[in-house]
A and B are shown apart, each in its own frame.
Chain A
Amino acid sequence: MRVADNTSSWSELLSAIFSNPEKGALFLVLLAGAWRWIRELWREGKDDEHHESLVETLMEENRRLREELRKEKHDHYDE
């Protein structure tokens, strides 16, 4: 009964969309626009994440090199 109700409500929605060109057009345009916007936001988030990880890697590298330099200086004074 519930499946039949769902089917009929979906078919009603589809027939309403297809029998009114403006509703169908609005539905399609909003769907395409929302899809594009979400994709762009997702990509932006991914780029930020990538940028952050690059900065973190560079800082870690910098810390490591400074540590090495400090150690070398220390060894040099010991000699």
Chain B
Amino acid sequence: MRIIDVHTHPVFFTKGRKKSELQKLVTHGKSHGVERMIVLGDVLQYGGTPDAEQLRLINDETGNIQKMFPHYFVGFCYLNPNLGEKAVMEEVSRCVTNYNAKGIKLEIANNASQPCMRHVAKACREFNIPVLQHSWSNSNFRPGMENHSDPDDTARFARRNPDVKIIMAHLVGIGYRGVIAAKGLDNIYVDISGAFPEDGLIEYAVEHLGSDHVLYGTDIPIRQSAVKIGAVLGAKLTNADRQKIFFDNTAQLLNLN
């Protein structure tokens, strides 16, 4: 089956930058049938709330990775919505113009339910791109993790902006409650990246969201292609559903061939 990995960090806390290391990752991906990887950036190398200059450095690195392997890596533009509308729009414009960024990546600079998310929604509309929001159930949050978006927060953002396509990241992290939060919101897609492969969750997501709304992703290098692919292959799904999850949905969402 053809596979696109919608959630990767080829450079992780500054490791993996060399062309030879990236080539190794491409070889690794291809050995598992992964045709393309979406690069989300080395998002935490400057902490959770990067400034404009730090964002530019991260996004330039993503762009350079894409330029080195244009047929393999596809970049997203990483943002800190707290920096305001002007900064958000300028950075997205720069990433789309210079690097043909296919989406926006949000981590933990803010919570997805906060007002500053309107800038992100505006950028998504103007550049016709989706946003991937790091999401995790706040059931086990520790103090200081308020800016991790709970699936209810990401769903709230989706309800406020029904014309914006949103990837709610980390199926196991959002759990069953996250799937229920996303249910009925046609503009939400859930990626299966991150965390250990809890059995049964992929089937649950397909049952409640439809296989059109589930995307294959890993969170490489934190996670492993073989495990995530095996979890999809081992799930009680039809091959048609698997093909949508592995490839078709992301290809359509990002307009990739």
Same assembly: no
B residues with CB within 8 A of A = none
A residues with CB within 8 A of B = none
